[in-house]
């Protein structure tokens, strides 16, 4: 046995059921016996850290659910050197739990037992640096959504007051804003209207600052530059792809990448019967949103994708056609990042109904 590295087997399996103010923990041993059950208060971070440090990193495996607030808990486990940890995919774990133990909830003991049996479907744990970059992107998305909402309120006021807008390409561009500010509206409505305009201007400033930050990062990334060669993919989308996918080699095939995004059709099978339904929407919602938005731009830029879009639109509808183009873009993204090559447009002639 000389020269052969012995792999230490885990003696303890810890399941963490995270709540808002506390986490419920259960530790089981190799044969599934409960060793300890404990409730740790989130207000006592030092106490939690000391508790985690009481376990041997080489002999302990930890599982927690991928809830909306797992970041800090994962960082705390890293600080305690408990690097052998799993972030459980909540939806898939629940399916296994229901079939194995017939329960409606995933608690800490169940997580521990499933970990011991190697039955936990894992979610990717993004490094702390990537999580920070993702927050910048989501911050920009939030700002744009709020600004869009305020623009809709402005439009609504104009319609209610029967005010016809001038023939301006962008009502919220420089010329449009000058016209909007010059409007004379009665009483409190004037204050409300201009308050919305002021908020829109402030949000636009914040968005522009964030855009500059994102563009500078994209210009430093060779992978981002490759993604910019794909039709419909701009600075923001390329950066979002890199931050959300992290490492394209996590996905063995372009189909797996598309599945991760959630732009593949659901499949319903029963015996010899098979039916494809709507897209699963169980993947990364940010990538799915970005690629469907990019698909609309790609149709106008790429002849092959335009013909493909028209074919699907004719057979089904425009929305499904847009999603189908997004799926094509996902395949292109996978190829560009995997092979480190610029996007190559399909050059073959496309006849009606022959786009593949």
pLDDT tens digits along 179-219: 999 998 888 899 999 999 999 999 999 999 999 999 988 88
Is residue 252 situated within a structural domain? yes
Is residue 348 situated within a structural domain? no
Which pLDDT score is estimated for 100? Answer: 53
Do the Cβ atoms of 64 and 111 come closer than 8 Å?
yes
Q: What b-and-e string marks burial along 47-72, b requiring 16 or more CB atoms within 10 Å of the CB? A: ebeeebeebebeebbbbbbbeeebee
Neighbours of 299 (CB within 10 A): 21
Per DSSP, 167 falls in state S
Q: Which two tokens stand for residue 192?
A: 């409300």
Rounded Cα distance between 341 and 87, Å, is 33
Which pLDDT score is estimated for 65? Answer: 84
- CA count, 13 A, side-chain hemisphere, 79: 14
Q: Are both 16 and 119 inside the same structural domain?
A: yes
Do the Cβ atoms of 200 and 148 come closer than 8 Å?
no
Rounded Cα distance between 181 and 190, Å, is 10
Task: Give the domain extent around 209.
Answer: 132-220
Do the Cβ atoms of 115 and 100 come closer than 8 Å?
no
Q: Is the dihedral of CA 260, 264, 266, 271 positive or negative?
A: negative
How many folded domains does the chain comprise? 3
Do the Cβ atoms of 324 and 347 come closer than 8 Å?
no
Is residue 265 situated within a structural domain? yes
Is residue 351 situated within a structural domain? no
Is residue 327 situated within a structural domain? yes
Pick out the chain residues at pLDDT < 70: 1-8, 91-106, 265-282, 346-356
Do the Cβ atoms of 241 and 227 come closer than 8 Å?
yes
Is residue 60 situated within a structural domain? yes
């Amino acid at each position: 046995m000389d020269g052969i590295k012995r792999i230490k087997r885990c003696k303890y399996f810890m399941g963490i059921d995270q709540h808002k103010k506390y986490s419920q923990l259960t530790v089981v041993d190799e044969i599934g016996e409960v060793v300890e059950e404990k409730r740790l208060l989130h207000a006592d971070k030092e106490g939690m850290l000391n508790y985690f440090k009481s376990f041997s990193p080489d002999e302990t495996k930890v599982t927690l659910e991928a809830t909306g607030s797992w970041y800090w808990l994962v960082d705390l486990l890293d600080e305690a050197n408990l690097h052998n940890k799993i972030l459980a995919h909540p939806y898939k774990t629940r399916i296994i739990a229901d079939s194995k133990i017939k329960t409606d909830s995933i608690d800490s003991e169940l997580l521990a037992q499933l970990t011991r049996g190697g039955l936990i479907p894992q979610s990717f744990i993004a490094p702390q640096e990537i999580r920070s970059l993702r927050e910048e992107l989501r911050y920009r998305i939030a700002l744009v959504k709020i600004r869009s909402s305020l623009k809709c309120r402005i439009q609504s006021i104009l319609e209610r007051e029967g005010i016809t807008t001038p023939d301006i390409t962008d009502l919220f561009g420089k010329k449009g804003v000058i016209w909007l500010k010059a409007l004379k509206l009665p009483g409190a409505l004037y204050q409300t209207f201009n308050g919305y305009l002021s908020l829109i201007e402030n949000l636009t400033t914040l968005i522009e600052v964030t855009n500059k930050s994102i563009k500078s990062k994209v210009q430093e990334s060779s992978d981002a530059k490759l993604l910019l060669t794909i039709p419909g993919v701009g600075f923001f989308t390329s950066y979002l792809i890199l931050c959300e996918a992290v490492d394209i080699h996590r996905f063995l095939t372009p189909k797996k990448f598309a599945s991760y995004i959630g732009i593949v059709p659901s499949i319903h099978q029963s015996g010899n019967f098979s039916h494809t339904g709507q897209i699963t929407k169980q993947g990364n919602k940010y990538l799915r949103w970005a690629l469907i938005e990019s698909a609309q731009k790609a149709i106008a830029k790429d002849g092959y994708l335009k013909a493909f879009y028209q074919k699907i639109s004719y057979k089904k509808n425009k929305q499904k056609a847009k999603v189908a183009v997004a799926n094509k873009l996902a395949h292109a993204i996978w190829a560009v990042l995997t092979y480190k090559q610029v996007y190559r447009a399909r050059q073959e002639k496309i006849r009606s109904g022959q786009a593949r």
